[in-house]
Amino acid sequence: MPRARAIERSPDEKINWKTSAPFIAVHFLPLLAFVTGVTVKAVILAVVLYLGRMWFITAGYHRYFAHRSYKTSRWFQFVLAFGGGTAAQKGALWWASHHRDHHRYSDTERDLHSPQKGFWWSHVGWILCDKNNGWDEEDIRDFAKYPELRFLTKHDWIPPWTVGVASYLIAGWPGLVVGFFASTVLLWHGTFTVNSLAHVLGRRRYATTDTSRNSWLIALWTGGEGWHNNHHYYQASARNGFYWWEYDPTYWGLKVLSWFRVVRDLKVPPERVLQRARVRDGSFDVGIFRAHWARATAALADASNRQVEGVAARREALADQIFSTRQALEEHVQHTLQKADELGKLSRRNNRELAAE
């Protein structure tokens, strides 16, 4: 989205290059494949690690910890937290508490990764600054009471390091470089597109109060998270693709696990809810209206600011002119008085000389 003015950021919203260095460095590690070479085993490992860890993020971190869209046992809850942790997106409590905040304040000033603040901010900026390092216990009391989840969130390096070492043991250096690091980088940016693009790209089926959209493209690489408008409309659902043609392998995985009773009580939206609030049927799209309204008022404020700035500039120029004219006049008067004085002196001398003759 083109922005008329540069977005202003508070100091804690600026990228902390020092703490972000490892994240940035990991992006270059896959280049070591030119040295280690690429093996079939390493590529297969990369695909498995991408799909598997994406599933843990979407089914675990997102649909379980953030939205409680199904139930499970304490041991599988731990598996979900550890599995999600292997994606190197911090701990489950950090991830889910921030995500709950996103739903609470979608597209407002308090939305932590609002695309209204620019693409890069919503994609990675919000993670690389100091502002969102911590997590608020109030946001996630229901899970913060489990010590094992607190432990994994505090020591969030353990799961990714475990997978990294395992990748090396399974497929050697290509396994680490391609299997682990390349798939981790892809997995990061795949996940981040839900924050940066799912409120920008695609269509709106439901009139929600935010700007979320449904995109089959985003669903493709995020295991079904691209049906983001469906999701904002009915967050409690374990299923984001509401119809069979809406690709949602995260839900299919959960469905299979429910057959084995590993998970239970998968929430899905009731049929009558699916039919309500459709933009197509003329429901007032308050989310898009709000976004346009915000943009229009911002543009108006901008224009009047510029006008005020214009008046101020004109007033300043005028004051300068008055000052210099007054100075010139003063100099002129001074000069005239001096000449008058000289003339007086000369005529007095003239008179004296005339009298002496």
Q: Which residues bind to Zn ion, rule: CB under 5 A?
A: 212
Q: Dump the DSSP string for 285-308.
A: -HHHHHHHHHHHHHHHHHHHHHHH
Burial group, residue 140, by CB count within 10 angstroms (0-12, 13-18, 19+): buried
Cβ distance to Zn ion smaller for residue 89 or 212:
212
Burial group, residue 242, by CB count within 10 angstroms (0-12, 13-18, 19+): buried
- Which DSSP symbol is given to 214? B
Could you tell me the smallest distance in angstroms from the CB atom of residue 223 to Zn ion? Answer: 14
Cβ distance to Zn ion smaller for residue 104 or 295:
104
Could you tell me the smallest distance in angstroms from the CB atom of residue 58 to Zn ion? Answer: 10
Could you tell me the smallest distance in angstroms from the CB atom of residue 195 to Zn ion? Answer: 7
- Rounded to 5 degrees, what angle do the CA atoms 258, 88, 56 make? 10
Cβ distance to Zn ion smaller for residue 72 or 122:
122
Cβ distance to Zn ion smaller for residue 184 or 222:
222
Residue 212 dihedral angles phi and psi, to the nearest 5°: -55, 150
Cβ distance to Zn ion smaller for residue 129 or 197:
197
Nearest residue to Zn ion, scored by beta-carbon proximity: 212
Could you tell me the smallest distance in angstroms from the CB atom of residue 120 to Zn ion? Answer: 17
Do 216 and 230 form a contact (C-beta atoms < 8 A)? no
Could you tell me the smallest distance in angstroms from the CB atom of residue 235 to Zn ion? Answer: 6
Q: Dump the DSSP string for 156-194.
A: TTHHHHHHHHHHHHHHHHHIIIIIIIIHHHHHHHHHHHH
Q: Dump the DSSP string for 234-248.
A: TTT-S-S--STTS--
Cβ distance to Zn ion smaller for residue 182 or 254:
254
Cβ distance to Zn ion smaller for residue 153 or 212:
212
Please state at what angle helix 40-55 crosses helix 74-85, rounded to 10 degrees. 130
Could you tell me the smallest distance in angstroms from the CB atom of residue 188 to Zn ion? Answer: 18
276-315 in b/e form (b: 16+ CB < 10 A) is: ebebeeeeebebbeebeeeeeeeeeeeeeeeeeeeeeeee
What's at 67, amino acid-wise?
A: H
Tokens representing residue 341 in the block: 């004085």
- Which DSSP symbol is given to 6? P
Could you tell me the smallest distance in angstroms from the CB atom of residue 202 to Zn ion? Answer: 12
Could you tell me the smallest distance in angstroms from the CB atom of residue 310 to Zn ion? Answer: 39
Cβ distance to Zn ion smaller for residue 69 or 183:
69
Cβ distance to Zn ion smaller for residue 56 or 181:
56
CA–CA distance, 88 with 145 (Å, rounded to integer): 22
Could you tell me the smallest distance in angstroms from the CB atom of residue 320 to Zn ion? Answer: 52
